[in-house]
Amino acid sequence: MKLLSLPQSIARRTLLSASIAIAIAGVVNSASFAQQASPTPPSSTPPQRVETVEVIGTQESYRPTATTTSTKTDTPNLLTPQAIQTVPRAVLNEQKVVTLTDAVRNVSGVTNDFGFNGNAQPLLILRGFPSTSMSASSPMSGSSTYYLDGNRVKGVPVNMADVQAVEVVKGPASVLYGRSEPGGLVNVVRRPLSATTAFSVDQTIGEHGLTRTVFEGGGALNADKSLLARANLSYVDGGSPRKFVEDKLAAGSATLGWRDALTSVSVSLNTTDQRYRTDFGVPVQGTRPVAPRDDLQYNDSPELSRVKSNTIALNVERKLNDAWLAKLRLLTQRADTREVDVTPYRINLDTFDDCSTQTPPQMCRYYFSARPDGRVELDQATLDITGKFATGGINHSILATLETQRSEKTGATYQQTLPSVSFFNPKPINTPRLNTATAFPTDRDDLSRWSSLTVQDQIDFGSGLHGVVALRHDRTAAVYAAKGTAPNKVNETTPRIGFVYQLAPSQSVYAQYQTSLAANNGRNPKDGAALEPERAKQFELGYKAQWFDGALATTLAAYQLEKQNLADYSLFFAQNILLTTGKARSRGIEFDALGQLSERVSIIASYAYTETEVLEDAFNRGKQLANVPKHSGSVWARYTLGAYSFGGGLFAQSQRQGDTANTFQMPGYATVDLMASYAFRMGNGRATVQANLKNAFNRAYFTGSHQFVTDWVAVGAPRTASLSFRYDF
């Protein structure tokens, strides 16, 4: 079994925690096959993230569930003045999602940049803007940013084998979550604790070397179900037909929780070990990427890059009285990195000549920003106080948040020139390892600190009118510069105001204005002056509805989003001047649907019409933002007939600009995925056999590009068949 190749370091760390949790839970009476997850605690106990699985036939339901990501309170989505979409575990299982990119393709207005560090660390784009700033200073690698159970993390892989749902909040969210990009945020929700004792084994094998093995289980450890545990252990080899490409992720987690009528406490350990060789895709020729070829690959690094991370999280909830609740979250994360990819680039960095114009055409190659001995550190603490009270017949739901976070990445980076290869027929031979003794080193301070206070009031005026008003004050310090450079400091208050009018018990309209702040960490190399922070503002209008007694939820939203203080590189190469004077706009219409059309038919669908324009920039004014199609959409449906399920989906994007200068375009595409499964009893449990066919018609397409480089255009996966077997007991 492929799991046997799990690195010993992660196996030792994870198996001990996993074995203890599973072994203890195993002595508890096993739940029967038909047993459902435990109900949510009564109102006299504080809210807890306890799993509830609704089953139709033999499959998990698509029925929408509550989320607290948009407001941090238990507000129904119908009364939230912001577009938010959830991709539930049922969809993740049926589509056999192994990357975060595959999950969010089900959501309107979400695309992706080229990305680095393998498929487990994507760079996502929401409403036209990357989730990681492309004008702030940073190394190319290690910049993937997402949220894990509401905590912002960066530069570590996403373990999709331990995910309950993926939540996408559209538009600025920095009033509640601090420094963030204005397009929105992606929150990965891990599997919750459950009082129901359950275990499962899941094995997937597929073409091009795809394999995934997952063991998980947990339940109550005592008779009154006050002590809960769960553990997860997985290994994924993403496989690829592309030459030299490897992407492997071993991961494990263990969580222990305790609760009584007033208090709940949980502590979790998550560990990952990612080994990869990044696929730099294909270069551009003229105004189009070169046709995909499996052997058109320039990164043959003689060793794999690696990220080993450990995350410990403590969550405490305490009910202060019938109306007030306190939540404390502490998170600490440590990762060791070895980033040694071979980077192709058509420009000769010594002479600045174009290697592709040589005879025959060449592709120059480098160890560029290679970091053989890096370390990522992140610490975060958050205290939320929520409460409810009434004044003169008007009901208030209050949130007050104190938050602090510190993140730092250390380790020198190196540049080393390597032998070039043929542009159209690369056959690298004996590529040397990175030699730090002869390579050019650079060591910088890469540090970010911020602390904040947020106050939010959700107001029920009566007669169906609801409002939300929030203010957040941030104190930030960020730097990416030569050792000893003082950090850029910002003190700023950002507002949020929105209104919801409930037309009927299942329909509402809303309007919201919100701003965002991202403290720029760079400096003008000409005079060392700190660059202005990036700011954004958004207006949004929307209509939300629930159909079939809440079984189906839909959101229709229209927005205009502007971001300013983007980096202007027009004078950088000529006079070594970098300014933050740029401005860009995104506006559009988005539609999302999730739920069940009937007892047998479930659906998740999306559509986005997006217009983007660079409003201020010396070179690119009037151009479109990169990687943003004007039209994009998806639809995935499942039909259940007893023990059988059949599913299929269409995922499409129109033409996109490949770079900020709009010098090339990636053509539009549409791909089709198919699924069929059969569930049956086996012993005391349930077994499920599932077959998937991704890109059924073997369409050649491109998923994204780097907006500043014409040499890295990511190639979509070809037709891939897979077969999985899952046993739940």
- pLDDT for 65 equals 81
Concatenated DSSP letters of 271-289: EEEEEEE----B-EETTEE
Each residue's pLDDT tens digit, 150-186: 888 888 888 999 999 999 999 887 777 776 788 999 9
Region class of 627: left (phi > 0), else alpha (psi between -120 and 50), else beta: left
H or E segment to which residue 19 belongs: helix 8-26
Confirm if 552 and 594 have CB atoms less than 8 A apart.
yes
Each residue's pLDDT tens digit, 144-155: 788 888 888 888
Region class of 703: left (phi > 0), else alpha (psi between -120 and 50), else beta: alpha
- How many secondary structure helices (H) and strands (E) does the chain include? 5, 41
Q: Tell me if residue 648 falls in helix, strand or coil.
A: strand
CA distance 92 to 101: 11
CA distance 694 to 673: 4
Torsion angle of C-alpha atoms 70, 73, 78, 80, degrees rounded to 10: -50
Q: What contacts 64, CB < 8 A, 6 or more positions away?
A: 77, 86, 546, 550, 552, 553, 594, 595
Band of pLDDT at residue 25, cut at 50, 70 and 90: very low
Please, which residues bridge with residue 589 across strands? 558, 609
Closest by CA position to 308, among listed 410, 156, 188: 156
Lowest mean pLDDT: which of 141-155, 209-223, 479-493, 669-683?
Answer: 141-155
- What end-to-end distance do the CA atoms of the chain give, in Å? 21
**Domain definitions of the chain by residue range:** 2-728
Q: What is the pTM of this model?
A: 0.88
Name the percent of the chain in helix, strand, coil, to the closest 5. Answer: 5, 55, 40
For residues 320-347, one letter each, b for 16 or more C-beta atoms within 10 angstroms of the residue's C-beta and e for the rest, the string is eeeeebbbbbbbebebebbbbbbbbbbe
Cα 331 versus chain centre, distance: 18
Each residue's pLDDT tens digit, 272-303: 999 999 999 999 999 999 999 999 999 999 99
CA distance 218 to 37: 12
Band of pLDDT at residue 480, cut at 50, 70 and 90: confident
CATH number belonging to domain 2-728: 2.40.170.20
